[in-house]
Structure 1
C-alpha cells in the first residue's frame, strides 16, 4: 500500500470535541471530505494528555491504528467537530 504524501497539505483545521467543544488538535488536512483519520505526522498542535480521550469531558473520540504503514488515529463517528 502507498504511504501518505510526504509534503503535508497547507490547509489546517481545528479539531474539537463534539460534546464539550474543547480543542483537541490543529491538523493539516488534505481533501474536502469528513475527518475520518488523523495521521500523527500531520498534527501541528496536540491539546490532549491521553491518546484519543478528550481532556475536558473524558469522552473517547479516536483509536490508535496503523494506516498504510503510518501511525494514525481513527476517529469515532460523530465524536469530533472540524472547523
Structure 2
C-alpha cells in the first residue's frame, strides 16, 4: 500500500474532545470527510500529556495503530469533533 504524502495538506483543523471541548490537536487534514485517523507526522500542535487521553476529562479518544505502515491514531467514533 502507498504511504501518506510526506508534505501533506496545507489546511489545518483544530480537534476537540466531544465531551469537555478541550483542544487536543492542530492537524493538517486532507479531504472533506469525517475524521477517522490522524497520521502522527501531520500533527502540528499536540495539547495532550498522555497519548490518546483527553487532558480535560481523562476520556480515551483514540487508539495507537499503524495505517499503511505509518504510525497514526485511530479515532473512536463520537469522541472527537473538529473545526
Aligned to 1:68: 68
What are the superposed Cα offsets for residues 49-81 of structure 1, whole Å, 9 maximum, x if unpaired?
A: 111100010000000000001000000000001
Match of 1:8, SS?
coil
**Superposition TM-score, scaled by structure 2 size:** 0.99
**Superposition TM-score, scaled by structure 1 size:** 0.99
> Which residues of structure 2 form unaligned runs of 5+?
none
> Which residues of structure 1 form unaligned runs of 5+?
none
Structure 1 residue ranges, 4+ long, deviating more than 2 angstroms after superposition: none
Structure 1 Cα separation of the partners of residues 6 and 55 of structure 2: 30
